[in-house]
Amino acid sequence: MISITRRFLLAVTLACSSVLMASASYADKIKVAAIYTLPVEQQWISRIHKALNTAASRGDIEYVYSENIANTDYERVMREYAEQGMQLIVGEVFGLERAARKVAKDYPDTAFLMGSSFTPVAPNFSVFDNWIHEPSYLSGMVAGAATSSNLIGMVGGYAIPEVNRLMHAFMDGAREVNPDVKFLVNFIDSWYDPPKAKESAFAMMDAGADVMYAERFGVSDAAVERGVKAIGNVIDTSGDYPGTIMASAIWHMEATIDKAVSRVADGSFEAADYGQYSFMAYGGGSLVMDESLMSAETAAAVKAREAELLDGLFRVNVNDARPTSDN
């Protein structure tokens, strides 16, 4: 008798969906615009940009974007794209939640899909976020097993729920394999300030941290200079820091973008929270490990926990509160 697991069925479903998406594009390309507050090279934004380029390469969408748009100018750009007849506008509105929703209300026939800390608003303002708390937990297991000093340093951008939950998940994963581990936590209050992140990382390593959680650019550079290991976030930078990055929690935005585009195409788009499409079960998150930098026992334990996550046998706790250093 063949045993069919939930993971097997999920794999078959995703595979079939991929084939269908690859074999046929929409009759009329959906006009999509994206608005970014930072360059498309920035780690978080790069994942959205990559997913939209993938959809464009399939012929599903016509894709244009604006980058480095200040919060004070963001509303104007949203309105300009809506006036140009864009059918779907994608972006991130963490610094202008109220203004963005006002624009959406003024253009009810335009679909909006925005990175946001708050809820969707009918009829056309949907939200998303990088819910990669599951692979973050797994990467924490790697870090917890790796530290000799039992002190891990964590440098984040802003203490917003989207960042906080990933850091807490990482900490929980580390504690699973190492109950004695402690954490140093700092936020640099910037999405992109590598020198400041690097300075913060140096201070933590001076205090005894021998593994670093690199939520921001600059931390891995500090780790390389001091010869300590690091854990990546959102993108895989192991190629840039060989021998330093032990594991990374990766965000894949394709499932989110593909779902939104398909709903615009068939006329079913409505206000919704797309956060679930960043879960591992939808292919929205994954873990990459350099097994040469860890013991076979650690790699096996992480893979076993990952299998339980995919089979629905383990759930990572979600904690949006600001994480703090251990006393």
pLDDT given for residue 25 in this prediction: 54
Residues contacting 277, CB < 8 A, separation 6+:
128, 255, 256, 259, 284
pLDDT given for residue 43 in this prediction: 87
Choose between 55 and 21: higher pLDDT.
55
pTM, two decimal places: 0.88
Q: DSSP string of 241-305?
A: STTTEEEEEEE--HHHHHHHHHHHHHT---S-B-GGGGSGGGTSEEEEE-GGGS-HHHHHHHHHH
| Percentage of residues of the chain with pLDDT beyond 70 | 92
Residue 13 has pLDDT above 90, yes or no: no
pLDDT given for residue 117 in this prediction: 87
DSSP 214: E
- In the predicted model, what is the mean pLDDT of residues 289-308? 98
- Please tell me the distance from the alpha carbon of residue 172 to that of residue 142, in angstroms, as a whole number: 11
Find out whether 275 and 116 touch, Cβ atoms under 8 Å.
Answer: no
Write the pLDDT tens digit of every residue in 234-266: 999 999 999 999 999 999 999 999 999 999 999
- In the predicted model, what is the mean pLDDT of residues 62-75? 97
Which superfamily, per CATH, for 26-128?
A: Response regulator (3.40.50.2300)
- Please tell me the distance from the alpha carbon of residue 163 to that of residue 319, in angstroms, as a whole number: 10
Domains 26-128 and 133-251+284-310 share a fold: yes
Find out whether 131 and 252 touch, Cβ atoms under 8 Å.
Answer: no
Domain residue limits, the chain: 26-128, 133-251+284-310
Residue 20 has pLDDT above 60, yes or no: no
Per-residue exposure over 189-215, b if at least 16 CB sit within 10 Å of its own CB, e if not? eebbbbebbbebbbebbeeebbbbbbb
- In the predicted model, what is the mean pLDDT of residues 116-122? 94
pLDDT given for residue 28 in this prediction: 87
pLDDT given for residue 81 in this prediction: 98
Residues contacting 139, CB < 8 A, separation 6+:
170, 173, 231, 232, 233, 246, 247, 248, 249, 287
Q: How confident is the model at residue 27 (pLDDT cuts 50, 70, 90)?
A: low
Q: How confident is the model at residue 21 (pLDDT cuts 50, 70, 90)?
A: very low
Write the pLDDT tens digit of every residue in 176-216: 999 999 999 999 999 889 999 999 999 999 999 999 999 89
Q: How confident is the model at residue 109 (pLDDT cuts 50, 70, 90)?
A: very high
Q: Where are the beta strands (DSSP E) in the chain?
A: 30-35, 61-66, 88-92, 111-115, 125-128, 151-156, 182-187, 211-214, 229-234, 245-251, 285-289
pLDDT given for residue 8 in this prediction: 42
Q: DSSP string of 28-46?
A: S-EEEEEE-SS-TTSHHHH
Q: How confident is the model at residue 39 (pLDDT cuts 50, 70, 90)?
A: very high
Identify the weakest region by mean pLDDT among 10-14, 268-272, 281-285, 292-296: 10-14
- Please tell me the distance from the alpha carbon of residue 307 to that of residue 310, in angstroms, as a whole number: 5
Average pLDDT value over all residues in the chain: 92
Kindly compute the dihedral angle of the four CA atoms of residues 80, 82, 87, 90, in this order, to the nearest 10 degrees.
70
pLDDT given for residue 30 in this prediction: 98
- Please tell me the distance from the alpha carbon of residue 231 to that of residue 245, in angstroms, as a whole number: 5
**What CATH architecture is 133-251+284-310?**
3-Layer(aba) Sandwich (3.40)
- In the predicted model, what is the mean pLDDT of residues 42-47? 92
Pull the structure tokens for residue 275.
């956060």
